[in-house]
A and B are shown apart, each in its own frame.
Chain A
Amino acid sequence: MDDELNAKLIFDKLLPEYLVKDKAIAKKINAPMAIDLEGKEGGQWWADFSSDNPVVSRGFNKEAKCTICMNAKDFNYLISQQKIRPWLEAFKSKRITVKGHLPTALKLRAIVQAHEKQAQNPN
């Protein structure tokens, strides 16, 4: 896995590429989702995965089925983990909070898996 992996790289560059390469990612999530990451390395992103042509954009002025809130440092650490347990522990201790539909928030896993898949098979 990439040591330099971080939220900005994921949401500004990699995820838009993955969504074009693999239509199944958006299909799995199938809802508008917002990410709100606090801290110096943070930011806000919004994506409508229910759209035929999903686009990831900065800010979240539009409605989302769920908003995932956490610290960017936590996100950067967790995204590099290939395990579910660290995410669960972060959620249990409220380092991750979710506004809106919780099951949809769990589909963030599809983004993590997409990255793992691309990291293993870049082409």
Chain B
Amino acid sequence: MKPLKTLNTSDYFEKDKEAISSHYDLPFEFFAKFLGPRMAYSCAYFADENNSLEVAEANKLELLARKLLISPEDKVLDIGCGWGSFMFYAVEKCDCSVTGITLAQEQIAVIRETAKARGFSTNMHAGLMHAYDLAFENQTFDKVVTVGAIEHMEDLDRVFSETYRVLKDDGLFLVHGMTQPWFARKVTLDGTKTEVSQLLDEHFGIGHLKSLWEVMASLEKAGFEILDHENISQHYKLTVEAWLENLQKNEQQIVDRIIPEEKYREFIAFMAAYILGFEGSGTLCNQILCKKIFKDEIRMPAPLTREHMSLGDSNG
């Protein structure tokens, strides 16, 4: 797997890298104790509430691939790729080429090691890169996906403009991420940092939960047409419940040899708080599918219904 060019000349790169790393560079083994086998640290998709985490995790990845209509010829960019769950899924199931970027060095090491072990040497690339400055030529990618990363991005206008630039004219862009309802967001915009926001920032390294309309406005301003939106908040509640169950099941091993007990207890407290957030409407999760609007465009044929996005046959 070829290394990507790294852009690290800016203040925000170092600041955000440090913040992101404070959370995501915890030992891989710790995350492996509670995430599903594909190591997707984002909302899974429960086609049936009895789905296991493993099935729901695969459902989510399949849903992303279906929404993006990924084909073997596609070059795909994954912004905030985590430990590469979507990258590996897309390469294996869709036989496409995938590039992933993240600000967590530990994640890149894991992806490279796994890719090498699984023989993905030519069609998978991972690198340390900030989403504000995508080091790619214009119109490089057919599809772009970002999963569970916009929560860490302050300037979505800039991220989406960069995405627009590197996406081919007929390309699709899928944004999967958390938002907060407007009444809560307005408090932050009015200049008040709530104690909950402060605690979340400290725990997750950095947090910029926008409202849904702000995310959509940034997409439209960047030049995207929104094709589809799905609120997947209740899927996230089920996901975090499964993570918390795994954490508590593996407590002894975790505190004995992976992370300090205080850190473990902080994690389970935040997991529990997120479950309550999703149980009400305090925290929301969305998938937004977009296409690039471009000059002299003639709309390409596209599915007329949402049927291709259905996972009715994925009950595990």
**Which chain A residues have a beta carbon within 8 Å of chain B's beta carbons?**
83-85, 88, 91-94, 102-103, 105-107
**Which residues of the partner chain B approach A103 to less than 8 Å between Cβ atoms?**
244, 272-273, 275-276, 279
- CB-CB nearest in chain A for B237: A103
- Contact between A83 and B195, CB atoms less than 8 A apart: yes
- Report which of B195, B248, B265 forms a contact with A85, defined as CB distance below 8 A: B195
- Report which of B199, B248, B265, B276 forms a contact with A84, defined as CB distance below 8 A: B199
- Contact between B268 and A94, CB atoms less than 8 A apart: no
Task: Scan residues 197-231 of chain B and give those whose CB is less than 8 A from a CB of chain A.
Answer: 199
Q: Could you tell me the distance in whole angstroms from the C-beta of B112 to the nearest C-beta in chain A?
A: 34
Task: Scan residues 276-306 of chain B and give those whose CB is less than 8 A from a CB of chain A.
Answer: 276, 279
- Contact between A92 and B262, CB atoms less than 8 A apart: yes
Q: Could you tell me the distance in whole angstroms from the C-beta of A85 to the nearest C-beta in chain B?
A: 7
- Contact between B266 and A92, CB atoms less than 8 A apart: yes
Could you list 11 A-B pairs, sorted by A, with CB under 8 Å? A84-B199, A85-B195, A85-B199, A91-B265, A91-B269, A102-B244, A102-B268, A103-B279, A105-B272, A106-B269, A106-B276
- Contact between A92 and B273, CB atoms less than 8 A apart: no
- CB-CB nearest in chain A for B248: A102
- Report which of A88, A91, A93, A102 forms a contact with B199, defined as CB distance below 8 A: A88
**Which chain B residues have a beta carbon within 8 Å of chain A's beta carbons?**
195-196, 199, 244, 248, 261-262, 265-266, 268-269, 271-273, 275-276, 279
Q: How far is the CA of A36 from the CA of B30 in the complex (A)?
A: 31
Q: How far is the CA of A107 from the CA of B196 in the complex (A)?
A: 15
**Which residues of the partner chain B approach A105 to less than 8 Å between Cβ atoms?**
272
**Which residues of the partner chain B approach A88 to less than 8 Å between Cβ atoms?**
199, 266, 269
- Report which of B261, B262, B266, B276 forms a contact with A107, defined as CB distance below 8 A: B276
- Contact between A94 and B261, CB atoms less than 8 A apart: yes
- Contact between B262 and A84, CB atoms less than 8 A apart: no
**Which residues of the partner chain A approach B273 to less than 8 Å between Cβ atoms?**
103, 106
- Report which of B196, B262, B275, B279 forms a contact with A93, defined as CB distance below 8 A: B262
Q: Could you tell me the distance in whole angstroms from the C-beta of B254 to the nearest C-beta in chain A?
A: 14
Q: How far is the CA of A88 from the CA of B271 in the complex (A)?
A: 13
Q: Could you tell me the distance in whole angstroms from the C-beta of A67 to the nearest C-beta in chain B?
A: 15
Which 8 residue pairs across A and B have the least CB separation, nearest first? Answer: A102-B272, A103-B272, A103-B275, A92-B262, A92-B265, A106-B272, A92-B266, A103-B276
- CB-CB nearest in chain A for B279: A103
Q: How far is the CA of A44 from the CA of B233 in the complex (A)?
A: 36
Q: Could you tell me the distance in whole angstroms from the C-beta of A109 to the nearest C-beta in chain B?
A: 9
Q: Could you tell me the distance in whole angstroms from the C-beta of B229 to the nearest C-beta in chain A?
A: 27
Q: How far is the CA of A84 from the CA of B266 in the complex (A)?
A: 13
Q: Could you tell me the distance in whole angstroms from the C-beta of A29 to the nearest C-beta in chain B?
A: 11
**Which residues of the partner chain A approach B275 to less than 8 Å between Cβ atoms?**
103
**Which residues of the partner chain B approach A106 to less than 8 Å between Cβ atoms?**
269, 272-273, 276
Q: How far is the CA of A103 from the CA of B196 in the complex (A)?
A: 16
Q: How far is the CA of A94 from the CA of B266 in the complex (A)?
A: 11
Residue of A84, A85, A105 contacting most chain B CB atoms (<10 Å): A84
Q: How far is the CA of A85 from the CA of B273 in the complex (A)?
A: 13
Q: How far is the CA of A88 from the CA of B276 in the complex (A)?
A: 15
**Which residues of the partner chain B approach A92 to less than 8 Å between Cβ atoms?**
262, 265-266, 269
- CB-CB nearest in chain B for A105: B272
Q: Could you tell me the distance in whole angstroms from the C-beta of A74 to the nearest C-beta in chain B?
A: 15
Residue of A91, A94, A107 contacting most chain B CB atoms (<10 Å): A91
